[in-house]
Chains A and B, each alone.
Chain A
Amino acid sequence: MPESNSTAPREQGARAGIHPLARYLGIRAALTVLLLFGVTLVTFTLTNLVPADPVQAALGEQAAADPEIVAQFRADAGLDQPLPVQYITYVGNLLQGDWGISQQTRAPVAQDLGKAFPATAELALAAILISIVIGIGLGMWAALRRRTITDQVIRVVSLIGISVPSFWLALVVYFVFFSQLHWFPGSGRLSPAAIPPPKVTGMYTVDSLLAGQWATFGDAVSHLILPAAVLALYTIGLLTRFARSAILEVLDLDYVRAARAKGLPGRIVVGRYVLRGALVPIITVLGVAFGSLLSGTVLVEKVYSWHGLGEYAYSAATKLDLPAIMGVGLIVGFVYIGLNFLIDVLYGVIDPRVRVA
């Protein structure tokens, strides 16, 4: 999560002759690049930590028994080099799109991830949209009705939201709303007979809209609702708590009281004054929320046969397919860091007080 509300003196940037915002963005960008390397360092270390011999895993037992083949393989793969050199090779390979070969699909990991990513992006975006609307709405409602029974009920709801094991809820919801009630279509991203829309983004809802295929769009949305709702529950709980306390902080400030005193209607005070003031802490927590959605997909997608990163990670984890697992770790880490960088940028733009310590 971003380290944000630090307050370095304003003069520092001015003295260096750089616009404070440019300086702030520059530092955040540099830190982001460092973190990206950090993520590769973590996966590299973990890959080398594995007790299982990579040579045997790659060659199979028979070939691994022949010392000549093994030596040749080690030299080819650069395994006879010192670790720092191996790390540089590793990062070089990553940059060239060589993320290793998945042991279960026998396909390059990068290719698998490329196929799976749009599906997860679609699911996570749908879930974050649901959570933003409901979470901030509930949080605001609770803050405006503070210390009433409404506030209490919303508190319990949000605590339930962060307490439910998502992998279990996914199963229960699937069982109730599909197997028993038949309200929603079953697993997958589209009905078996449906043809996927022409690929633009890889997200079926967006692509079908772009192609003007309304029936496909409806089908994709109806498949999306259940898993997105299950995923959203945790982030709704998280956002509700944060939104409530962020709004409470603002609610008693003088400028809000002044807005009320001059007779502005309640909805304008809340919409234009309160919500705007509370926006910065809420945006900060969105990064955390999105991270939890990405991880949540690992536990939820399997149940809905949603062919995304989560299902890929699930089958990789249960079969101990390390290249694939590390690939998922890398891509999720990258996306998460990138997202937090975006939030930092947004944060610096919205709140001029932001400075980097």
Chain B
Amino acid sequence: MTDILAVQTRRKGRLRISKQLRTPLAITGGAIVVFWLLIALFAQWIRPFDPLAQDFMRLQPPSAEHWFGTDQVGRDVLSRVITGAQVSIPLALMLVVFAMLIGSLLGAIAGYFGKAIDEVIMRIADLVFAFPTIILAMVIAAALGPSLTNAVIAMLIVSWPAYARVTRSLVLGARNAEYVIAGRLLGNGPFTSLRKDILPNVLSPVVVLATLDVGTAILLLSGLSFLGLGAIPPTPDWGAMVADGVQNFSSWWIAVFPGLAILTVVLAFNFLGDALRDALDPRSQEAVQGRAL
């Protein structure tokens, strides 16, 4: 989060941004995100049990010893929820960063050079947009074979076009600005021009889109794991844990707690993203977020 703010402050002036972000929603969101980041960071020391250790105490309801109960092979649900933070959060953050890098780079190239290269890149993007996101991610993940890495690759494939579209339209707008032309006349090559004059000026909406995307990425990843196309057992992934809960229906605690973990993290990132979007663009707020999950 601090990185995002740093990018913004350089462009838009620190005071306005930080004031806008001092809303109750943003503060709540930020606090919850920090809470989960700390949990992910210190999981090894916080968790009461080994998240993989099986035990004869199967399907125990929450008790003083096992706060969140135990699952179908006697593993401590609390410890697994805590460890799950180490799976979902870093992967989602990494995914969003890579999707943003790849997408905005391709979008910038498409917008700047135009013509055939633009057509090729944007038509591929259109193909991705022709599917609802989860469906395409599911199809790709299934074709690649179930694993966390493949799930992330599948998500990367479905995520970059949103960034490419936004960046492309922004670059198209900035391409003929006087300062860009001045730079070219001074002898900047196309890539130097892109890097020095154009990209820094189109970055903030892309970063907002990325912030809004973290929550979606966590939902998508846990959805794939729920389908058995993400984390492979016994990895303590939240989505996979909810799937365990479907198999053991009467033991509600197996599914309820990891689900609450997903809900709180996603909600927190969405609170933050929402506030950031308001702060940067009080009008036409929904412009950057038009993708189905």
Chain A contacts to B: CB under 8 angstroms: 1, 35, 38-39, 41-43, 46-47, 49-51, 155-156, 159-160, 162-165, 167-169, 171-172, 175, 179, 234, 241-242, 245, 249, 285, 288-292, 294-296, 298-299, 302-303, 313-314, 316-318, 320, 322, 325-326, 328-329, 332-333, 336-337
Contact = CB atoms under 8 A, between A and B. Distances in A.
25 contacts: A42-B127, A159-B267, A163-B263, A164-B266, A165-B226, A169-B259, A171-B255, A242-B286, A245-B286, A288-B291, A290-B292, A291-B133, A291-B292, A292-B292, A295-B133, A298-B135, A299-B134, A303-B246, A318-B227, A320-B146, A325-B139, A329-B135, A329-B136, A336-B130, A336-B132
A242 B239 CA distance: 28
- The B contact surface, by secondary structure, is helix
A1 B290 contact: yes
Interface in B211-255: 215, 219, 222-223, 226-229, 239, 242-243, 245-246, 249-250, 252, 255
A336 B131 CA distance: 7
Contacts of A50: 143
A38 B130 contact: yes
Nearest to B162: A1
A320 B249 CA distance: 24
A336 B228 CA distance: 24
Interface residues of B, number: 54
B132 A299 contact: no
A273 B259 CA distance: 43
Contacts of B263: 163-165, 168
B71 interface: no
A165 B239 CA distance: 9
A171 B135 contact: no
Given A245-B285, A295-B132, A336-B132, 17 more contacts: A1-B292, A42-B127, A43-B139, A159-B267, A159-B274, A165-B219, A168-B255, A171-B245, A172-B252, A172-B255, A234-B293, A288-B292, A291-B132, A292-B132, A298-B135, A317-B227, A332-B135
A171 B286 contact: no
B132 A162 contact: no
Contacts of B226: 165, 167, 299
Nearest to A325: B142
B262 interface: yes
A224 to B, nearest CB: 20
Interface string B74-111: 00000000000000000000000000000000000000
B163 interface: no
Contacts of A171: 242, 245-246, 249, 255, 259
B270 interface: yes
A329 B139 contact: yes
A271 to B, nearest CB: 23
B214 to A, nearest CB: 11
B284 interface: yes
A153 to B, nearest CB: 11
Interface in B106-135: 123, 126-127, 129-135
Contacts of B242: 165, 167-168, 171
Given A50-B143, A162-B270, A333-B135, A299 B223 contact: yes
A1 B255 CA distance: 33
Contacts of B136: 42, 329, 333
A333 B158 CA distance: 14
A38 B181 CA distance: 37
B57 interface: no
B138 interface: yes
A165 B223 contact: yes
A76 to B, nearest CB: 23
Given A245-B284, A325-B142, A337 B290 contact: no
Given A165-B263, A291-B292, A1 B129 contact: yes
B155 interface: no
Nearest to B285: A245
A288 B25 CA distance: 26
A28 to B, nearest CB: 13
A242 B287 CA distance: 9
A193 to B, nearest CB: 22
Contacts of B139: 42-43, 46, 325-326, 328-329
Contacts of A332: 131-132, 135
A1 B166 CA distance: 14
Contact of A1 (B143, B243, B286, B291): B291
A318 B233 CA distance: 13
A149 to B, nearest CB: 11
B160 interface: no
B293 A296 contact: yes
Interface string B253-293: 00110110011001100110010000000001110001111
Contacts of A42: 127, 130-131, 136, 139
